[in-house]
Every structure is written in C-alpha cells, then in structure tokens.
Structure 1
C-alpha cells in the first residue's frame, strides 16, 4: 500500500543521495510509517557495523537519526573497515522494508500445504511451544535428536552453539558445512593451523591469490592489495575468469579449468622442485613426507598440467619461478572455491604445499600468523561456546561422525550436508534454525522434504522466505544490525562494541537474546543469565581473561586495543610458540608441516595431496560430456548481492533483476545464442531458465552461474557427490549444456 509522504518525509541525507545517484532509481519504493521523521527534528548519530556481506568484514556504519529513525547511512570514520559498499548503503532499505517479519508466527495448516496459514502469536507462546516440543523430544528420544543450525548472518553462532551443547545436543551445525570449514581442515591437516592467507606487507615481494576476487567480494581488502601493487608486490592470480582482480593486479594470470586446482598446484610444485625454487632448509627440517611428495609431483610436468588444467605450460613455469624466487611471498585463499569439489580437501592441501615449499610460513612478509585475541572467527570463545566441557561429554552422539570421520576429528560443528539422511534414519527429529536457507544445499528439494518430515522446526529470520520457511512450524522475527548488540567486532587486537542505535522494529529481537531467552525457558536460566544478552557478553569477556568489561568497551567507542604480552615474532615453530605444549615445531601429529598427513592415514585416506578428476568432468565422464559439454561453475560473488540475500532490495535489484548465466562468445556463437537471450541451462538433474550474458570474462568451455535465485535455484541441478574427507558438495565443477530457451 502506498504511503502519503507529503507531510512526513523519508529524509534523504548525503550518503543516501550518493547511493541514489550511484544506484539509479532512488526512492521509488514504499516505506512503512515507522520509517518517517519530521523534517525539522534534531539530528543525532549512532555507530554500528554492517552484516550485509557476512560475518566479515563488519564494515563501519555511521547513521544519522531523527526521532529515533535512521535517515542517512555513511561510512564510519576512524574504523578499520570504514568504506561502505552499495550493500551497506542499501541496508537502510532492508531495515525499513515493509515485508520484514515483525512478530512471531506459527503455522495453522498441515505441513505440505501450499499456504502455511501463518498466525501471529506472542513471544511467550512461542517460547512455551518450543520448550514443550524440544524437552518432550529430549525426554523421549534424547537431546541429540534436536539439531541446532546457524546460517547467515553468522553473528549468532556462539550463542546458538552454547544453546545446543547446554541442551545436550552435539548436533550443532552451520553454513560453514559448505563454506569455510573445509579450507580450515586443509590447514589443520598440513600445518595444524587455520589460515586463509595474509595480505602483502611492506616486505612482501610476491602474492599468490587463489580463486578469490576481492574486487567484488571484499572491496575493503581490495584497496589494500592495490596499494601493495603500487609498492612493488607482484601478483599471481589463479581464477578461471578474467575478474577485476585479475585485470587490476595480476602479473601472471593462471586461468584454469574449474575443479583442477590441485593439479595446478602440483604442477607448480613440480617446477619449484625441478629447478630448485624452494627453501631447502625449511623443507628438510620442518616438513614431514617430503620425499614421497617430491616423487609424486614428478608426474605433474608442465605439459601434463597444461593438459589437465588448460593453463599454458609457460605460465606454470613463470608462476613457479616467481613464487619460489621472489620471496618473501604470501598467499591469499578464499573460503570455498577450491574446496567445492569432490576432491576439494586434497586440492587445497596441494596449494598449501606450494606455500610450504617457498618456506614462507609464519615468515615476515610471507604467510604471517600473528597472535590474536582469545576469540574465534565469529567473536565467540570455545569455553563460552561450551566446546571445551559439555561438547566433550556428548560428542560421540553426533549424527555425522561415521559419514565424515576426518571432519568430526577436527571440527566440532556437525557436517550437515547429509541431514536429510539423518532425518530418515531417525537421528534428527527437530531443528532450531537461525538465518537458514534450504537453497544453499545441492538437490534443494531433499532438504525441504527433510524439514517437513521433522516433528517440529522453528526458524528465526528477518523475513518469511517461502523456499525455506514454508516447511517450518514457526518463524521468529530477528533484529537487524542497527537494532542489536552482540557480537563484538574484532580487528587484530582491537575490540569494538556495538550498541543498538534504534529500537527493534515490531517485536523483533536479536538472535543472541532469542537464544538466551529460549535457553532460560528450556530450563537453563543460570547458563543463559535469565535471558540477559548483556550479562552473557560480560561472561564472554570474563572467560577470555583479558581483564576488561563492557564498561571498558563503552568507554572506548573508537575501539579498545589489548597490547600483546610480548612483541610478535616470526617463525614461531622454531621457538615453541606455535604449539600449545611449548615444544618446537607445528601442532600436527608429526610436529612438522605434513606433506603426508598422519590423520588421513589414520582414517585410511590418501596421505599425499593427491589429485583426482571431478566425478563429472570431460575427462572422467566423456560419455556424459557428449550431452553436457560445458563445465558448470556456480556461486561466484557479485558486488551487490550476498548469496541469496538482498535480491529484493530496489537499489540493488536493478543491477541484476533476473537470474544470469555467463558464457564466452565462442560457445554462444556455436549455439546460435546472443547476449540477452532467454536460455535453458540443463544438467542430468533437470533444467532451469536464465538470461544469457555473453562475456569474455569466462573461459570457452565453461559457464558461470550465480546462485541464490528462488526462480532459478541452480543448486537443484548440482550433484550430491560429496568430498569424502570434508563432506563438501561440488559447486565449482560438473557438466551442463546451455541452449535456446
């Protein structure tokens, strides 16, 4: 319904006007009455950090308010990530979106009905219903039959995890089952440490960027990389596309066939060893299994590697020489592209092996690993999350331990990609889901059906999202970043605290508050501070033993820096600072960087980072390739959407209003297709409709598809051929065909 705004105007501040000018259509949308403020009201200001991308980079927001309503969004000054992108500027539209869910609702029609028949209920009724259902299942079948899940935003992970383990269920999972955790596992398997790389420093001569496009996905980081380029750092960029990162930074671009990352890494390692471009001292003293690794990579000659990867052998030679000789060199990886493969964990281990050959692990200007504050990546802490005590008592009941034993060895979070099977087996009967999305999984319908089969499911979200929530029994309204407190933002050794700057719309509540209030209702009032989010954060600070309180953080709105007990040092494996027991070496089974993994040996996997073709590729399945000759690459980031989020936002939707498939001109011409055509994309699982974008960004022989569209859910066409080590799906490979729609 249109609003009469002649007397009460949604005020357009300078940042909003800048966004409107940059984004095209400005205010051709309707806002709820709660968004309007009188023009002559006094101004006030509030500070927050954005969650429009994900758990990072928590870009800083300065909000201008009138009558307690945000009228302007702009970048926050004196803040580590202080430059907002189009998504951050548009967050004001999401805050005042008239489609937001503002009250708890419960379904009144049976599951499977086209219309759930949502009925508004009170928070008290919601909590009472959830507690009765969950405690009933716990009493009858065991607490482990209730699954707890956190999607996007990732900010409530710590609270949801604490809720799961306190309730007695080891089956807490999150979207990192298809994102970050496999990359982390590869780090644990090789060097006992998690690292997605380090940005170039003043002494860095070479930077290897592997399948990451920060120009689109991490604009705050991209500027720093451009500065490094201007200061003389050379860049090798691995990507099957010609991205803005490639065109802006790459001295050498390795444009590989999707799914062949491991072969490319082994080919680079071959040249480094053949020509002596490696740190012999580091390799001889601090690595395990080098002899076997060196023998294995002999077969990955530049000629063979070119045949597998499509990367010219001359470029492989040049990249090996640059990374091996121009040291120190660092590496930057992405959370997912190399691990979204049926051989993803081993592919990523191969990449880390190249970094190890250079000898630049924890070296100044190389892959630096400074000591940080005692928080995890999501601003929680293992002890606060109850990983160190309660989880240890119940972990043998986790549903995934037989399917993915290496995952279960390293990762406390449940690998959720087979939860439809766990539902069918009776291992999971109910779920509490925060920010979940059924479209994120391959063969989406199987997960929707699993949600419908459960005895009781409840979600918390900003919106009713039919693809997921039409399968649920209840949906709770979640507060947005401007309306909530937790968690902290951690940058190195500096902590930022976020106060809510506007009251939550309707009856929405923060995810942490929901978890603490639900935990109290389930019978754990002491553990959840009788529902007090603020007291929970005080407990988190107490557990970290930093000697600070919320009062201290409030007294330092520009961030509170905790100095280290001693200056950062490099090559900490030489001094015993890499291992918790104080011994020299790496925190691995062998005490060294492991070219051959002893943990993989224990679970009877290949100990070397062996290369295997994707299950479905032109080489592994030539018969299928006759019908589906194009390689399917999905899930690339774009500057104005994050996964399935934000596609309804008017300021952003205009840039890509329809589902797009990108194809090289060579392939389009061969099929009689042109830019803007309606096309049909098909795999062995079915077909979907897209708009065609013809572009030279894409290699001939492959296509690039963005995920997250309800009207064209590409994951419906993805195989459930999970990597046996990580359990990850093959989003970055597979076979398809594109034809006239």
Structure 2
C-alpha cells in the first residue's frame, strides 16, 4: 500500500453513513439493471491463509462469477485457488448430509442421519468419555484453520480438554514460540510504507510468498515492496519462481539454515556492522551471542550449507548495511529437528541489525478496533492438565495456546495406554498431513470414536464414525482473522449452503451449547456480535463495512512508549530482545541459537546415504493446491493432474529417467510414485517431492500411492523444544517405475 490515502473503506466512516440512513444501505451489493435476482456480494476468500477481498456475482441464487475486489487492501489480486472456488461450491463430490458409519471402518458404508442425531451423538460420546476418563481423553483437531482457530481452542477449553491438535508444531507454532520468547510478540514484514520507508533489503528464507499468501503477509504487498527494494536475497535449496528477480541466491542445503544464519551473524558481529545503539539499549545477551557465533566462521558454514563463502559474506553485509530490511520466514524452516534455534538465529539477525519495530523492518502489528480476535478463545479458562507430549516438548505447553504433540499421541495409541478415546477433527486430514502416514492410519484405527467435519469424504473422513458436511466459505458468515495482524475482514455468505452443510463456526457453537452452554451463544450471529463488541459495531454493520484495519505510523517503535510496559521496552522477562533467552534457560534448553545436523544426511548417517544417496525435501508450494485440498476441483486438477517431483537433469540421466516419467521415490519408511520434472536450478543431489497428494477419483483414494508422508519419519529426535518433525531434509533414492504407468 502507498499510504493512508488508500484506505477509506477501513474506517468507521461507513458506519456513520449506515446509521444515518432511513433505509438500509448495502454498499457491498450492486444490483445489475432491473433484475433484482442478480447482485454482487463483497466477501473474503479463505482458499488459503491470505484473506483476499473478492466480488462474487450471484444470479438467481447461484454463483456465476468470482473476481478480486480492486478497491480493497489486496488490490483485486486473486490466485487460481480462489478463482476456482465456484467449482468447489458446486462440486458433485461434496458432502451434503450428516453420515453415520454402518459398516467397518474404511468400507465406505454410510447411513444418512439428521443434524440433531449427529450432534447429539457426538456430544453424548464426549460426555461419556469425559465422565469415565476425564476431558483429556478427548482430542479436538483442526487443520490450517483459515481463521477459525479461536473456535477450536474455545471449544476445547470449554470442555476442559488440553489436547488440541494442529499441525502447528511444524507449521507456524515454532515461529510463534521463537518470536514470543525472543521479542515477546509476533513479527511480520513491513511491506506497506506507512512509516515513510519500504524495505531496502528483502530476504525470502524458505518461503514462496508469490504462490500462496502467508499468515501475516500477502503476495501483493511483497511484490509492491519488491519494486522499491535495493536488494532481494533468496535463501532456498532451489530457485523459486521469483529467483529471476533476486540479486543474490543462497542455495542452502536442506536443514542447514541455522548454520547459515549463524555464519551471517559471525560476519556482521566480527566486522562490527551491527546497530550498536540498538544492541546496547534494547537487546539482552549480546556478548554471549558474540561468543557463540565465533564457532561459525564463513568457511565452516560454507562446508556445512554448501553455500559459497563469498555469498554468505555478501548477504550478511547487504542485510546489515542496506537498511531497513526484513526477512520473510517460510514454513520450511519449522519442519525439522532444530526449528526453534533456526528461527531464533534468524531473529537475532533481525535484532542486531536494528530491523525490529522500525518502518520497513519487522513489525508487531497493532490490531484493529476489535482487538485480537484470539481473545475469544482465551477468555475461557485453560484446562488443568498438560497436553500429551508437552511434558517433553515444553514450548507446546506455553500460553496462550497449548497443544498436543501428534507424534506422541500416535505413539501412545500404537504402543501405550491409548489415552485418547475420541477425536473430533474439523477441517483436518491427519492421514495425509502428518509424518509416516501408514502409522497415522494405524493409530486412528485404535481411537474408539472419531467425528470428522469436511467438505469431502477425505482420506481421514473415510475412517470416521460420523462425518458432518461443512459449508464452503462462500456459504459462510464469519469474521476473518489469520493471527493478530492489522486488519479483520468480513466473510459474507454469498449463497445458501448446498444440501444441509453448515459453517464451521455454527458446528462449534451447536456442539458447545450441548456441552458447555455458558461459553456459547444462542446462534452464530449473537456470537459474531459478541466478537465485534470492542469495535462498537454489530455483524450486520461489519459485513457492510467489510474491513477494519489500522494502517498508520502507530505500528512502529512501540518499545519506546508504554505500549508493552511502563517506561518502554519489549514484553519479555528482561524487557529487551532476548538474544540469550531467559525463558529457554529456565526450561533447561540452550538459551543461545545453535546448529544441529539433520537426522538423516551424508554427514549424520553416512552408511544410510550409501543406499539412499539423494537429499529429499517434501512440501514445496504450487499455485493450484493448498496442502491436501483441491484435488477434486476440475479446473485446478486440469492445470496439474499428477503429483510432480523435481530432479536435476544430470540426476535424471544417471538413473535413466526422462521428463514426465513416473518414478519411485523411496526412503527407509516406504516408497511412493510421482512424475519426474527436470529442473536445472538446483543441486543434482536434491529431490523435491510434492506433499499431501491423493486421488479422490479412486475407490481407495490412493492414500499411500503418492503421498509424500509415506516417506517421512514420525520417530525422534524431534526439535527438543517444541517437537517439530522433519519434512525437508531426509535421504532417498529414486528409480523409474516399471512399465511406465
């Protein structure tokens, strides 16, 4: 964004107009001609994490067209997933009615039941297990969330269960934890220019923001800021689609990012390129950090990371001297055995260069008038027990959002007491999403009762006892918030749900009323009004305003004010950015960032590398799919019908593989098949496989045929602080599939 002039729709100006009118004004709906049945609804896309504002044309109760809203913060941009949403709403494969299993699990024999029977059954099962085994016997799970995390946590807290399941311990929770213990908040790249500066140096570190919007940033803002940047540094094992715009590419070996960050710190500190005033006044433990990074000379780091020494030095010098700068951190850095210390090393880079809380740097956003929407969950008292696994991986137990460790849950279900008796899984697909899929399925089969909420009969839903049909975001009224950032926006129902599908927030509210009514509401609109109360508006008013945002200079330099603490400072135990973490020290973890070799590598497991000579990374982004979603969508599936693995042409020649061949990718856990795509801009020793693939058109859904998590390990060592599993640095071998197809 260019500044405050572009934001008239984010103020309460519209509210004053609405309240002054004798007749209802609907600025989000534009009637076409005299045909009252044709109109356009302004709403918010939930096809990924972003929240792009969109215009939905509806004719005679049916969606006929979707496009971006050019008057919005996201400037009319949309990705293929959002544009193809019409094929999601009217997909013939969608679940339309509540179903109850009548055959054996996985046989696909179902009976249609009423919503009352379905919800009553789920609630009664929860009551039975809570009475006999306690609330910790119930696991409440969700997937990426897309802004309904607050409902999941509020529901779990309201029934007293500590066991909330998210894939967060290897996706976003390490960032929350690392930022929280180091700076006391959540830092995002300031691409907006509200403080008069854009970043001069932008770093993309294991991130493909150009393909999918992140938890706090949007591709459109990044691309706008890139036009103003002096330097763009790409840190990634392969060249991503924006590599042609990079001034410097650091092709880091998968899993060695902590060493690279520590090597850059070595250069910045030894050459005294750091911000001396900021470090002296606002950081804790700099001398100890200086001593730690002496171990990571550029020469040593080059040998670890396979990045040339001169590139390491140049990246460090640019980031330290061409300021302000920001670092866009990707999920790839969290999916390994050293996620917390990797992230802390990168945050230390931000801190010693003075790039925190300044315009064009890394900023903890001030929320809009609503306050942080997550408070909706936190106002319910937390459970009395610890989540499963949080006694070992102690950052999982830290407030505000404690969660269980799924690999520990599976281990218990397979070899332990089977403490989890029931799972309620809403918008999540554990059979595809978690490490060692075959073990995950075996573990789920040991759960006595499972209820699943989804749009489709997913690989996980197939093994449930009750399946509930979820409404699409185009059929939902809700408040969109993806972790505390500077705006919230309205998700406005464009059409009625197909069949008897219900929105996620309605389902949580209906179950909540049956189990803990004092924390829930008469209907979803009372619940939405309650969440908007701090802004002094109702849901009906908010959906006409569309967006509430703060887009000014108040975001910056909050540590110089009383924003966090009297007299200034950061919300950490020392009041400063903790390069040396007192929280980690008190938990008996290393208080300083350090490097840890991946569990499987040519160096940590040389004997294994003789049989599996290639380094495998899974989970790279594509523009058409989001985790396991959209394989049913005909428009998107046409763009990419099969799973794709990237291999180097030299590697392909060595193994007799041609572009487009089906190949086997094998690790000690198993093998899968994907189509080879030859790609030169990567090391010949690497293989990049796509994750979460299955085949909805097949009777068995092809759960284990091409799913990369057949290859990943659910065995320790995990990250010692938060339990992250490894998805981006394993060993594998490849060979052609016999007989082609």
Q: Larger relative CO (CA 8 A, sep 6+): 1 or 2?
A: 2
Which residue matches 2:24? Answer: none
Which residue matches 1:260? Answer: 256
Which residue matches 1:308? Answer: 304
Which residue matches 2:398? Answer: 409
Q: Deviations over 1:12-41 (max 9, x none)?
A: xxxxxxxxxxxxxxxxxxxxxxxxxxxx99
Q: 1:484 to 1:291 in 2, by over 3 A?
A: same
Q: 1:518 to 1:298 in 2, by over 3 A?
A: same
Which residue matches 1:568? Answer: 554
Which residue matches 2:675? Answer: 691
Deviation at 1:108, TM superposition (A): 0.7
TM-score norm. by structure 2 comes to 0.88
Deviation at 1:674, TM superposition (A): 1.9
Partner SS state of residue 692, structure 1: strand
Answer whether contact 1:340 1:729 (CA < 8 A) is retained. Answer: yes
Deviation at 1:561, TM superposition (A): 4.9
| Aligned positions of 1:570-609 closer than 5 A | 570-577=556-563, 579=564, 581-609=565-593
Q: 1:430 to 1:80 in 2, by over 3 A?
A: same
Q: Deviations over 1:22-76 (max 9, x none)?
A: xxxxxxxxxxxxxxxxxx99522222222222xx211122122221011111222
Deviates more, 1:161-170 or 1:198-207: 198-207
TM-score norm. by structure 1 comes to 0.88
Q: Deviations over 1:392-433 (max 9, x none)?
A: xx2434323212112212452313322213444233111111
Deviates more, 1:668-677 or 1:678-687: 668-677
For 1:88 and 1:416, locate their aligned partners in 2 and report how far apart those are by CA, in whole Å.
32
Partner SS state of residue 586, structure 1: coil
Deviation at 1:583, TM superposition (A): 4.3
Which residue matches 1:628? Answer: 612
1:419 matched to 2:409: yes
1:174 matched to 2:170: no
Which residue matches 1:21? Answer: none
Question: Which of 226, 247, 254 is equivalent to 1:229?
Answer: 226
Partner SS state of residue 217, structure 1: coil
For 1:616 and 1:734, locate their aligned partners in 2 and report how far apart those are by CA, in whole Å.
5
Q: 1:374 to 1:712 in 2, by over 3 A?
A: farther
Q: 1:569 to 1:739 in 2, by over 3 A?
A: closer
For 1:175 and 1:218, locate their aligned partners in 2 and report how far apart those are by CA, in whole Å.
18
Answer whether contact 2:236 2:252 (CA < 8 A) is retained. Answer: yes
Deviation at 1:478, TM superposition (A): 0.5
1:282 matched to 2:275: no
Which residue matches 1:17? Answer: none
Question: Which of 506, 519, 529 is equivalent to 1:538?
Answer: 529
For 2:239 and 2:218, locate their aligned partners in 1 and report how far apart those are by CA, in whole Å.
19
Which residue matches 1:144? Answer: 136
Q: 1:494 to 1:716 in 2, by over 3 A?
A: closer
Partner SS state of residue 216, structure 1: coil
Deviation at 1:446, TM superposition (A): 2.1
Question: Which of 521, 524, 528 is equivalent to 2:514?
Answer: 521
Deviation at 1:92, TM superposition (A): 0.4
Which residue matches 1:14? Answer: none
For 1:369 and 1:196, locate their aligned partners in 2 and report how far apart those are by CA, in whole Å.
6
Q: Deviations over 1:278-331 (max 9, x none)?
A: 111221222222112111211211111111101111111111111111112222
Which residue matches 1:475? Answer: 467
Partner SS state of residue 348, structure 1: helix
Partner SS state of residue 497, structure 1: strand
Deviation at 1:648, TM superposition (A): 2.2
Q: Deviations over 1:594-623 (max 9, x none)?
A: 222112112222111010101111111111
Which residue matches 1:37? Answer: none
Q: Deviations over 1:344-374 (max 9, x none)?
A: 1111111111111101111122223342237
Structure 2, unaligned runs of 5 or more: 1-34, 695-704
Which residue matches 1:355? Answer: 350
Deviation at 1:630, TM superposition (A): 0.9
Partner SS state of residue 77, structure 1: coil
Partner SS state of residue 215, structure 1: coil
Which residue matches 2:179? Answer: 187
For 2:384 and 2:370, locate their aligned partners in 1 and report how far apart those are by CA, in whole Å.
22
Question: Which of 143, 164, 169 is equivalent to 2:156?
Answer: 164
Answer whether contact 1:399 1:422 (CA < 8 A) is retained. Answer: no
For 2:549 and 2:277, locate their aligned partners in 1 and report how far apart those are by CA, in whole Å.
37
For 1:225 and 1:651, locate their aligned partners in 2 and report how far apart those are by CA, in whole Å.
27
Answer whether contact 1:59 1:83 (CA < 8 A) is retained. Answer: yes
Deviates more, 1:419-428 or 1:730-739: 419-428
For 1:492 and 1:333, locate their aligned partners in 2 and report how far apart those are by CA, in whole Å.
16
For 1:607 and 1:159, locate their aligned partners in 2 and report how far apart those are by CA, in whole Å.
34
Partner SS state of residue 687, structure 1: strand
1:436 matched to 2:424: no
Which residue matches 2:84? Answer: 90
Deviates more, 1:149-158 or 1:239-248: 149-158
1:506 matched to 2:499: yes
> Would you say how many aligned residue pairs link Structure 1 and Structure 2?
680
Partner SS state of residue 363, structure 2: coil
Answer whether contact 2:203 2:232 (CA < 8 A) is retained. Answer: yes
Which residue matches 1:122? Answer: 114
For 1:562 and 1:257, locate their aligned partners in 2 and report how far apart those are by CA, in whole Å.
39
Which residue matches 2:324? Answer: 328
Q: Deviations over 1:682-725 (max 9, x none)?
A: 11112112211111133221111110112311111111232121
Question: Which of 545, 552, 573 is equivalent to 1:556?
Answer: 545
Deviates more, 1:698-707 or 1:90-99: 698-707
For 2:726 and 2:198, locate their aligned partners in 1 and report how far apart those are by CA, in whole Å.
37
Q: Deviations over 1:178-224 (max 9, x none)?
A: 31111111111221222243336334321222111122223994443
Deviation at 1:494, TM superposition (A): 4.6
Deviation at 1:277, TM superposition (A): 1.1
Q: Deviations over 1:148-198 (max 9, x none)?
A: 111144333222221111112122232323311111111112212222433
For 2:549 and 2:659, locate their aligned partners in 1 and report how far apart those are by CA, in whole Å.
52
Answer whether contact 2:58 2:65 (CA < 8 A) is retained. Answer: yes
Which residue matches 1:727? Answer: 723
Deviates more, 1:227-236 or 1:137-146: 227-236
Question: Which of 360, 363, 386 is equivalent to 1:365?
Answer: 360
Q: Deviations over 1:107-127 (max 9, x none)?
A: 01133xx41411110111111
1:657 matched to 2:641: yes
Deviation at 1:226, TM superposition (A): 3.5
For 1:299 and 1:91, locate their aligned partners in 2 and report how far apart those are by CA, in whole Å.
51
Answer whether contact 1:200 1:233 (CA < 8 A) is retained. Answer: no
Q: Deviations over 1:470-519 (max 9, x none)?
A: 22111000000111101335896554323311111000001111111111
| Aligned positions of 1:674-713 closer than 5 A | 674-710=658-694, 711-713=705-707
Q: 1:345 to 1:221 in 2, by over 3 A?
A: same
Question: Which of 243, 257, 280 is equivalent to 1:246?
Answer: 243
For 2:486 and 2:277, locate their aligned partners in 1 and report how far apart those are by CA, in whole Å.
32
Partner SS state of residue 236, structure 1: strand
Partner SS state of residue 318, structure 2: helix
Partner SS state of residue 189, structure 2: coil
For 2:729 and 2:551, locate their aligned partners in 1 and report how far apart those are by CA, in whole Å.
45
Answer whether contact 1:155 1:486 (CA < 8 A) is retained. Answer: no
Answer whether contact 1:183 1:196 (CA < 8 A) is retained. Answer: no
For 2:238 and 2:353, locate their aligned partners in 1 and report how far apart those are by CA, in whole Å.
26
Partner SS state of residue 529, structure 1: coil
Question: Which of 51, 54, 57 is equivalent to 1:58?
Answer: 51
Answer whether contact 1:634 1:706 (CA < 8 A) is retained. Answer: yes
Q: CA RMSD in A?
A: 2.2
